[in-house]
A and B are shown apart, each in its own frame.
Chain A
Amino acid sequence: MAGVYVKDISGMNFGTMTIEAVTGGLRVQGQPDIWIFRQNGYFSYPGTGPDSQRVQFKFQSVAGRSVISVRYEGEEFLYMERYEQGNLPAAWTARQGAYAAVNINPGSALWPGTNTMTLEVGADGLLRLKGTLRGDIPIKPLTDTLAITGGIGRNKGESVRVVTVAGEEEIEFWGFRYRRTLRTANTFEGGTLFQTTGAGGSGTFNVLALNGNWRQMGRQYGALLKTQMGEFYDLAAAYLAASQGSTAEDLRLLGQFGYNLQFPYARQLIDGMAETSGMSNEKQRSVAALMGGLFGCSSMNAWGDYTGGGRWSSAGTGTRREVPSLGSAGS
């Protein structure tokens, strides 16, 4: 009886919950008391009063599926179904990551919010579509390109298909089609350069993931973003020359000044960057010292009662980052 089950969580949301055997009965995740076994073959909350068995639960097999029914005021309803993940094909685990819908307008009435979801294997080993319109739902792969949502009932047991559109995989369920929000663009010595996909509307951003000691991360950084760093330096140098009359020597001196103020780990990072970026140490230090500056940012945090769920939800910032300046500058 102990195991993972799929049940309605709240409203039309559904997800997984666990039942574990404990002394005297079963501990059901999220419920205030244990279930104990009764002589009529049902489980109920402990106690001897008239209300203690008002709600009763029964484990049974229906058409070959292991379910729990709930008996309430003389009627019996389907409550939850036992969920077995089974083997996870490598094709599905490789798809872990963030996705955004591409076949509806983000934030439209069909989806009250940004239509995104994350495919993830959790610490419990279950594959889920997280953050969907119906919560964090488990899915069970049937083939490398087909899975079904867990459980029995509305929105459950439905297909989750992988389709290929313009040479790229997309995940389709409930009429929505999702594309990855990060694509791998390049790798170097343990570091990976990703790019967002433009699923938010149009332009994309680089997302650089570095791993190792600070010099190793610097080498990855320098190799994977050498082009972008060069473009940034050229734009900044041109701007600073035009607006402040700054010369290449000014940039070099300020780069060295900033380098001297950096913590030792950051200096190791910058040194590593110069090993693979093709820049001189002096130029690399100048790039490292460039930062967005000037003025006009706003920020807001909302949590608890303001988010509706009591849980931390979001922090936001509307920020203005002017063209780069050298040295310390807030926005």
Chain B
Amino acid sequence: MVYNPPSPQNSVVDINYAGSISLQTGMNSKGIFLDLQNGQMSDPLTYADRTPAEFRLFSFLLDSSNARELDASFRSVSPSMGLIINTAVESRLDFATSASVYEWATYGVKQRTASGLLASANHYIDPAWTGLPAIPDGLAGGFSKERLANLLARGAQYKGAIDTARMMQIFDTTIPNGGPTFPDDSPLETYYQIVAAPGDSTLWLKARGYSGWEKMALKPLFLR
């Protein structure tokens, strides 16, 4: 769904089920992309009376036009449950490029940054956290450690050559073969996958077993 609300809000695309008003993966017309991961293995607390993070993320994209504004949004509120948000920014205003992972706990947030490559799965790894639960190996831990290790290894392997096509290839690779994707015979399944080029307002969506990588060039649909 591509929303073009009145200015000054940004155009936002929300990749979602028909009718669901929330946002777990989305991108805006200012070149900001974000993607949500469950972080409850590291922060199992939940607060039903807090505004769901999926509602807040939608607002973050509507109202943030650069990395600084997005960062302020993450630091201003706490989520209703432990989450991990990958963010990527290619600002159309100042052409600044950056990415961050926000390990967004119900009681605080840590921002991970790097120079060129960031990855996350379903557990917190920022060294500033203390007292985090141990993450089991394998299925008991949702293969979170294995998926993260595989992504970092593929990033290192393809350093200097990671374009959108390579990103699709990486996310088409199953965990036993060195990727992040659950194999078809796994008790956990991968349902859909997204690759985005936020500076070009373009994304590719694949629903495993249903489609190939379907391109969506959204620049003509972003009116703000």
Q: Which residues of A contact B (CB under 8 A)?
A: 96-98, 100, 106-107, 112-114, 116, 118, 120, 181-182, 194, 196-214, 217, 221, 225, 228-229, 231-233, 258, 261-263, 265-266, 269-270, 273, 284, 287-292, 294-308, 311-322, 324, 327-331
Contacts and interface: CB of A to CB of B under 8 A. Distances in A.
B167 A314 contact: yes
Contacts, number: 338
B97 interface: yes
B52 A204 contact: no
Interface in B109-124: 115-122
Contacts of A330: 24, 36-40, 53, 81-83
B99 A301 contact: yes
Contact of A302 (B33, B162, B217): B162
26 contacts: A98-B215, A100-B215, A114-B164, A114-B204, A114-B213, A120-B219, A120-B220, A198-B212, A200-B212, A200-B215, A205-B207, A205-B216, A207-B216, A208-B2, A263-B51, A266-B55, A289-B20, A298-B121, A301-B99, A302-B167, A314-B163, A317-B196, A318-B147, A318-B179, A319-B25, A331-B36
A270 B18 contact: no
B195 A315 contact: yes
Given A297-B122, A300-B155, A316-B194, A261 B55 contact: yes
A322 B191 contact: yes
Contacts of A328: 46, 48, 52-54, 80-81
A194 B80 CA distance: 34
Contacts of B142: 295-296
A159 to B, nearest CB: 24
A181 B215 contact: yes
A298 B195 contact: no
Contacts of A263: 51, 55, 59
Contact of A205 (B161, B167, B211): B211
A302 B121 CA distance: 15
Closest 8 CB pairs of A and B: A201-B212, A98-B217, A200-B212, A203-B211, A113-B165, A330-B38, A298-B180, A328-B52
Nearest to B222: A209
Given A116-B215, A208-B2, A330-B37, A316 B17 contact: no
A266 B168 CA distance: 33
Nearest to B190: A320
Nearest to B3: A210
A304 B98 CA distance: 9
B155 to A, nearest CB: 6
* From A116, A258, A265, A300, residue with most partner B Cβ within 10 Å: A300
Contact of B214 (A97, A204, A288): A204
B125 interface: no
Interface of B: 1-6, 16-22, 24-25, 31, 33, 35-40, 46, 48, 51-55, 58-59, 80-84, 86-88, 90, 97-99, 101, 115-122, 142-143, 147-148, 151, 154-155, 158-171, 179-182, 188-199, 202, 204-207, 210-221, 223
Contacts of A273: 19
Given A202-B211, A297-B36, A229 B122 contact: no
Given A266-B58, A330-B53, A291 B5 contact: no
B51 A261 contact: yes
A121 B191 CA distance: 36
B183 to A, nearest CB: 12
Nearest to A121: B220
Contact of B171 (A106, A296, A317): A317
A298 B147 contact: yes
Nearest to B202: A98
Nearest to B205: A205
Contacts of B171: 298, 316-318
B52 A300 contact: no
* From A198, A261, A319, residue with most partner B Cβ within 10 Å: A319
Contacts of A301: 86-88, 99, 117-119
Contacts of A321: 24, 191-192
Contact of A270 (B21, B82, B161): B21
B116 A315 contact: no
A6 B75 CA distance: 48
A331 B190 CA distance: 11
A306 B155 contact: yes
* From A307, A311, A313, A315, residue with most partner B Cβ within 10 Å: A315
B22 A305 contact: no
Contacts of B55: 261-263, 266
Contact of B5 (A194, A202, A214, A324): A214
B18 A305 contact: no
